[in-house]
């Protein structure tokens, strides 16, 4: 999916650039004037632990440390002075003896009547692939997200807020030698996230983020009611005359489990911590600085189920 969107985006950009060079009419979309975007690639490490309890007594502990690699493509198109569309595609993979791949695609529609404020809805579709290599087992989830977002761009800083509701459409379990088993468990994942960015210079920026979400799976025989808090920081720099933006980022996650097995039994629970550290680079198109990139292509799907964790 990400490759298809990237190919389509390149086609749009090539057409826009050609039209600009050819001196076509002002109504033709132009790279850097009506069309903006960037590609993102990153890699890093993921580590963490989960401790499961039974009526307050620790029963099991699971720890992990894995590599992580991912990428994204984002492109925005200015329909007119007050309205624009942005499309995203992303994928993030982590794991060693088992792997988890999050992927998705989103569309943002934003209004900007003041020249500094962007607000509007977003919709996305994606999912998660969990592969257990030892058991030759694949678990796949198909999910959606709908949300609202707002960004304010000041001279030296930027504030970005998003609320949304992620949920699953369907799921599948496949074990080698067996037919795929389809199932549907209603998963709801409402969330809220904020990101603040300060520009030391137009090409040197520091961002901090905070997000909360509630992961719920109601059912007659099994229920789940978990609360998550996520926080993070990112430092970005673009050297003079460089076409590439480099960055390092940190994300932390704390989760409290409240599993009811069977439903109504409050005895099962626990907590977990996860740390993600990545380094990456962005290749912008039609943009001059990091600050202008955030203003024109500064949106992302921040949902905790399958959203882009590199943002």
Q: Given this model, what pLDDT does residue 183 score?
A: 67
Residues contacting 157, CB < 8 A, separation 6+:
196, 197, 198, 199
Report the DSSP beta bridge partners of residue 272: 50, 255
Mean pLDDT of 223-246: 90
Tell me the residue range of the domain where 255 lies. Answer: 35-297
* Cα–Cα distance, 107 to 270 (Å, whole number): 36
Give a yes or no: residue 26 inside a domain. Answer: no
- Give pLDDT tens digits for 108-124: 999 999 889 999 999 99
Task: Please indicate whether residue 228 or residue 311 has the higher confidence score (pLDDT).
Answer: 228
Report for 28-37, 94-103, 117-126, 282-291: range of highest mean pLDDT: 117-126
3-class SS at 307? Answer: coil
pLDDT in tens, 53-67: 766 677 777 787 888
In-domain check, residue 137 = yes
Confidence label for 12 from pLDDT (cuts 50, 70 and 90):
very low
145 vs 213: CA distance, rounded Å = 13
Assess contact for 73 and 89: CB atoms under 8 A: yes
Asked whether residue 268 carries a pLDDT value surpassing 90, the answer given is no
Using the predicted structure, report yes or no on whether residue 212 has a pLDDT greater than 90: yes
**Count of domains observed in the chain:** 1
The winner for highest mean pLDDT among 30-44, 111-125, 214-228 is 111-125
Q: What is the pLDDT of residue 117?
A: 93
Within-domain flag for 142: yes
CATH code where residue 213 lies: 2.40.160.40
Rounded to a whole number, what is the distance in angstroms from the first to the last CA of the chain? 19
Within a domain: 283 = yes
Paired tokens of 176: 């080698």
* Domain-located, residue 28: no
Q: Are 87 and 74 in contact (CB under 8 A)?
A: yes
Q: Tell me if 311 is assigned to some domain.
A: no
Q: Of the given ranges (23-27, 102-106, 247-251), which has the lowest mean pLDDT?
A: 23-27
Structural domain contains residue 105: yes
Q: Give the pLDDT score at 27.
A: 54
> Is residue 297 within a helix (H) or strand (E), and if so which, with residue range?
helix 290-297
In a domain, 183, yes or no: yes
| pLDDT confidence of residue 9 | 42
Task: Give the model confidence (pLDDT) of 150-196 as tens digits.
Answer: 999 999 999 999 999 998 877 777 777 777 776 666 778 899 999 99
Category of 175 on φ-ψ map: left (φ > 0), alpha (ψ -120 to 50) or beta: beta
Q: pLDDT above 90 covers what percent of the chain?
A: 47
Interatomic CA distance for residues 122 and 108, integer angstroms = 4
- Output 29 or 183, whichever has higher pLDDT: 183
pLDDT for position 287: 72
The H or E element spanning position 81 is none
Other Cβ atoms within 10 Å of 2 Cβ, number? 18
For residue 287, give the H/E element and its range: none
Report, as an integer, the average pLDDT of 66-88. 92
């Amino acid at each position: 999916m990400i490759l298809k969107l990237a190919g389509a985006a390149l086609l749009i950009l090539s057409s826009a650039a050609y039209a600009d060079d050819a001196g076509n009419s002002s109504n033709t979309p132009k790279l850097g004037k009506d069309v903006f975007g960037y590609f993102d690639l990153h890699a890093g490490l993921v580590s963490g632990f989960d401790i499961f309890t039974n009526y307050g007594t620790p029963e099991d502990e699971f720890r992990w440390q894995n590599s992580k690699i991912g990428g994204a493509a984002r492109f925005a198109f200015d329909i007119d002075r007050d309205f624009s569309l942005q499309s995203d595609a992303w994928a993030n993979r982590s794991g060693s003896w088992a792997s988890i791949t999050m992927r998705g695609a989103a569309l943002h529609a934003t209004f900007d009547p003041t020249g500094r404020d962007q607000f509007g809805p977003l919709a996305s579709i994606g999912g998660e692939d969990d592969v257990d290599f030892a058991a030759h087992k694949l678990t796949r989830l198909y999910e959606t997200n709908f949300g609202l977002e707002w960004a304010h761009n000041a001279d030296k800083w930027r504030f970005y807020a998003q609320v949304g509701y992620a949920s699953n459409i369907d799921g599948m379990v496949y074990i080698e030698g067996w037919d795929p088993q389809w199932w549907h468990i209603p998963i709801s994942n409402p969330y809220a996230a904020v990101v603040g960015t300060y520009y030391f210079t137009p090409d040197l920026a520091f961002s901090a983020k905070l997000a909360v979400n509630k992961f719920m799976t109601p059912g007659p025989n099994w229920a789940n009611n978990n609360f998550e808090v996520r926080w993070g920081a990112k430092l970005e720099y673009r050297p003079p005359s460089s076409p590439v933006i480099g960055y390092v980022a940190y994300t932390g996650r704390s989760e409290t489990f409240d599993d009811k097995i069977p439903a109504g039994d409050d005895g099962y629970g626990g907590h977990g911590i996860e740390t993600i550290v990545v380094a990456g680079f962005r290749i912008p198109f039609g943009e001059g600085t990091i600050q202008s990139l955030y203003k024109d292509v500064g949106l992302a799907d921040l949902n905790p189920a399958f959203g882009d964790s590199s943002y």
